Amino acid sequence: MKINHLLEKIYNFPRVLRVLSLIFIDILIIYFSVLLTFNFDLDKSILIKWIFFSISIFSTLTNFLSGFYLNITRFIGSSTYYKFAKINFIVIFLIYFFGEFLNFKLPSIFYFLKLYIISTSLIFFIRIFIRDLVLKYSKNKLLNSSIGIYGAGAAGSQLLASLKLSGELNIIAFFDDNPKLWGTKINDVKIYPPSQIYKFKDNLKQILLAIPSIKISRKRKIIKMLQNLELPILDMPSIDEITKGETKIDALRPIPIEELLGREVIEAQTDLMNLAIKNKIILITGAGGSIGSELCRQVIQHMPKKIIILDISEENLYKINEQLLDLNLDKISIVSILGSSSNFKLVSKTIKDNNIDIIFHAAAYKHVPIVELNPIEGIKNNIFSTVAVCEASVSNNIEKLILISTDKSVRPTNIMGASKRVAELVVQAYAEKESSKLNKNSAYKETLFSMVRFGNVLGSSGSVVLKFKEQIKSGGPITLTDSNIIRYFMTIKEAAQLVIQSSVLSEGGDIFLLDMGEPVKIFDLAKQMINLSGLSIKNKNNINGDIEIISTGLRPGEKLYEELLIDAEAEKTDHPLIFRAKENFIKMDEIIPKLKFLKKNIDERNKDQTLKILNELVKEWENQNKIN
């Protein structure tokens, strides 16, 4: 402890004093080296003094000018030592040749070679000793921050070396799948099989992943195993990022939750993407939203003839327009339209002026709590924007319209889900009417209507993942409504690609369902995100943890789990992740009068009557806002 205290005092010295101390140590080493070279022969004291003073002056001056004393001792690497060895060699032998030139009575060059080896070795040794002493002191300060590294390959070895130099973490063990490595050591840190990691649980404060080249499926299994320890996990950058110079090997970071949810990434089928988009004029409503904007980014990459983006939010429209301009390498025409999709005249004129082929209708209010508090505006936007877009599509004989729907429309328990179910019924009614026209007249140019249902999208506006990230960032707690809630997740990119590909499979009136992968328990998701952020869970078993998880109770209209089907069976399509269903619907002549009555009550701001009509249209939805 006294040594640690002394080291701490020295470490807090001004920089100038620390440099002078090192110079003084080096001078002592040179003096001792000269004495040792001449076997402490005091008869040669004049020669010893001349050599000592000459080397001390020239070596110190040269090393100072070369920046040797500017190096931080604990970070000194081999390149610095090589540089010093070269300078020391030049100084000693220049003094030898200078003495020869002045006809001094010098011993043979062997003594100077011996002096070079002794002085260089001693300075190296003392520097390494000081470095290790400092690192040991740092290590003692970090005994409560013991770390394990998973992966004892080249990346793990480099990570260890980098972290040891920084002195910021105390690495106590390696874990690796390779049995050939078990029991061996890297830089004095032993390698253990993963099965023994549980023995270290009480000593470890964090796990670092050093497996940058591993397949995502294997990485998921490893992380799942590590998460059972409820220890914070950090990841190192990918090899690609390191080799490109984008980051350093020790730039540890949280593991993106997107890497662990759902399934392995399945690349979009290029032929379907091109069939859907190439040389087509595409309109995307709600283009500034999370799904709409990703649809825009995907569409522009597959050579449309023109892309028209429509959004009611000026800010969102501006942002997606700027993004598309950056992506627009092929100089595709981009038209930005500011306005509401509920405005039939605006939508119809936009379609007519731009000769639209395909519409992706993504405009909707989708935040359950907000729509629950503002039912009239939510119903008006979600239903009547769909009516306006469908009517404008038929009036202008467009090729296809695809409605972006949600799993919350299936047996809805909230107003948002019920309003989206009515939007689906509208699309189904228009599809049936178009089919009837085609049956009566084979020359009729039919507009194909379809809709796509899927669940939660990672990173979308209002996503629970984004909410949890913000709560973790602010220090917690994480709030979830019920510990038993289950949800399906998909990346925005994959969802948008599957929506586009489904348009090619449309036969009219289709309900397309996307394979959402495995269900995820939201409570487990919260625990994962805390651990993957390099933090620990605070609970009764770990009162000193970082982030607490609190259940607040189900919100009005919230379900424990979501569904994708109402009363139909899903059928396979030509795409392995897209399924088709045909469900019961309300015919056009029956739904139109109810929609007109609904619109009248919305315009009159009659909330009770509006919700009553919504209940009549979606009988499985129970109005939780009704007044008793």
Give the CA dihedral 45, 47, 48, 54, nearest 10 degrees. 140
The 3-state DSSP class for residue 150 equals strand
- Alpha-carbon distance of 28 to 48, in angstroms, equals 13
CA distances (Å), origin 46, targets 52, 349, 382, 401: 10, 103, 99, 100
Rounded Cα gap, residues 153 and 528, in angstroms: 26
Orientation angle between helical segments 216-227 and 522-532, nearest 10 degrees? 100
Backbone φ and ψ for 336, nearest 5 degrees, come out as: -100, 125
Are 323 and 300 in contact by the 8 Å Cβ rule? The answer is no
Distance CA 441, CA 81 (A): 89
Catalytic entry in 280, 366, 408, 538: 408
Q: Could you give the CA distance from residue 481 to residue 553 in angstroms, rounded to a whole number?
A: 4
Cα 435 to chain center, whole Å? 45
Spell 22-43 as b/e; 16+ CB within 10 A means b.
bbeebbebbbebbbebbeeeee
* Cα gap 35→52, rounded to integer Å: 9
* Structure tokens belonging to residue 148: 């394990």
Q: Are 62 and 87 in contact (CB under 8 A)?
A: yes
Quote the CA–CA distance of 320 and 295 in Å, as a whole number. Answer: 11
CA atoms within 13 A on the CB side of 353: 11
What is d(CA 81, CA 187) in angstroms, rounded to the nearest whole number? 19
248 is catalytic: no
Phi–psi pair at 622, nearest 5 degrees: -105, 125
- Evaluate whether 484 touches 519 at the Cβ level (below 8 Å): no
What is the Cα–Cα distance from 198 to 123, expressed in whole angstroms?
A: 43
Measured CA angle at 111 (ends 106, 113), to 5 deg:
120
Place of tokens 């921050």: 145
Phi-psi region of 40 (alpha: psi -120 to 50; beta: other; left: phi over 0): left
Nearest to 72 by CA among 189, 167, 187: 167
Question: CA gyration radius for the chain?
Answer: 36
Number of Cβ within a 10 Å radius of residue 551 = 15
Written as six digits, the tokens of 93 are: 């032998």
Handedness of CA 21, 27, 30, 31 (dihedral sign): negative
Residue 451 in contact with residue 427, Cβ under 8 Å?
yes
* Largest Cα span, the chain: 124
d(CA 387, CA 423): 8
Q: Under a CB-based contact definition with an 8 Å cutoff, are residues 254 and 533 in contact?
A: yes
Residues 6+ apart with CB under 8 A from 8: 137
| Residues carrying an active site annotation | 408
